[in-house]
Structure 1
Amino acid sequence: MSIKGYNVTSIDDFVGRELGVSDWVVVDQARINAFAECTGDKQWIHVNEELAKRESPFGGTIAHGYLTLSLLASLAMEIGVIPEDASAGLNYGLDKVRFMTPVKAGARVRSRVTLTSVEKKGGGRIVVKTINELQVEGEEKPALIAETLAMLVV
């Protein structure tokens, strides 16, 4: 998706504005299991459905916090955070992350992104900071709020 009027030249005009909201994405047990396999984090609360139903305070398995955090990159791309006229957009880091609500297996999440700052670094590089709120359908509090940094290459 592209954001009307949003490009490398006009990016400063968008500071303080919401850039958009992604579509909903299902965080199902298969995704949670795949993340557990990739990372080696096979804690029972994520992968043992029977035990989680009996013992978890959430009534079932939940997604890894880092799994939910990792979704922000693709959801930001869907929204169009990287302007179409940038040659590349690279993850540059995180300034602050807070995990607020667990994401239960089968839940739907989406990201709401606001541009908070733009810093021109010279040499065709621009650092953009966004606040990303990963919302969980049907929950009052978001799953997480993260300040992310991306390096745009012009």
Structure 2
Amino acid sequence: MTCWQQLVGESLGVSDWLQMDQQRINAFADATGDHQFIHVDPEAAAQTPFGGTIAHGLLTLSLIPHWLYPLLAPHTSEQVTTVNYGTDNLRYLQPVRSNDRVRLSASVASVEEKGPGRTLVRLNTTVEIEGAEKPALVAQSLLMVIEP
């Protein structure tokens, strides 16, 4: 079994903060075609209970690899490939407002050998919002670790 088994129950750490600015939100809206006013129209969004624009939930989710791979680096090598294998138990708990700072914390929940050179690693991931009581989202992120 790989070294991943030894990490079950262990924290991989916490990422750096990232500011979710309106430019990033608008770029995601353009990339996905989701231009709902709550994301891209600050004046209209100011009239909602959110008081301004909020990031797409899928934008926040899509940033997990950005935060995660630096946390994985100490546990992998250049010969190892990690592939996003899916997401389980995803819950959006609080919206991320434009200009909020967010970061990821991750821990290893389980490891399952899937065949020669293939290991499924299940991570408990939480995207935190700076200064907020509740996180933006929680999910189990699945990685397939492929070794030569």
TM-score range (shorter-chain normalised) is: over 0.9
- In the TM superposition, what whole-angstrom CA distance separates every residue of 1:72-109 from its partner, at most 9, and x where no partner exists? 11101121268323521001011110000100000000
User: Are residues 35 and 119 of structure 1, via their aligned partners in 2, closer, same or farther at CA, if it must alter by over 3 Å?
Assistant: same
**CA distance, structure 2, for counterparts of residue 148 and residue 88 of structure 1:** 16
Q: For structure 2, which runs of at least 5 residues remain unmatched after alignment?
A: none
- Structure 1 length normalisation: TM-score? 0.91
What is the match of residue 103 of structure 2? 110
**Which structure 2 residues correspond to residues 5-154 of structure 1 after superposition, within 5 A?**
9-53=2-46, 55-80=47-72, 83-85=75-77, 86-154=79-147
Cα RMSD after superposing both structures? 1.4
**CA distance, structure 2, for counterparts of residue 9 and residue 65 of structure 1:** 34
- In the TM superposition, what whole-angstrom CA distance separates every residue of 1:22-61 from its partner, at most 9, and x where no partner exists? 00001000000000000000000000011111x2111100
C-alpha displacement at 1:11, in angstroms? 1.4
CA contact (8 A) 1:82 1:89 kept: no
**CA distance, structure 1, for counterparts of residue 118 and residue 4 of structure 2:** 13
| Alignment size in residue pairs | 146
Q: For structure 1, which runs of at least 5 residues remain unmatched after alignment?
A: 1-7
Give aligned-pair identity as a percent: 47
**CA distance, structure 1, for counterparts of residue 74 and residue 96 of structure 2:** 27
CA contact (8 A) 2:54 2:95 kept: yes
SS at match of 2:89: strand
CA contact (8 A) 1:46 1:63 kept: yes
**CA distance, structure 2, for counterparts of residue 42 and residue 80 of structure 1:** 33
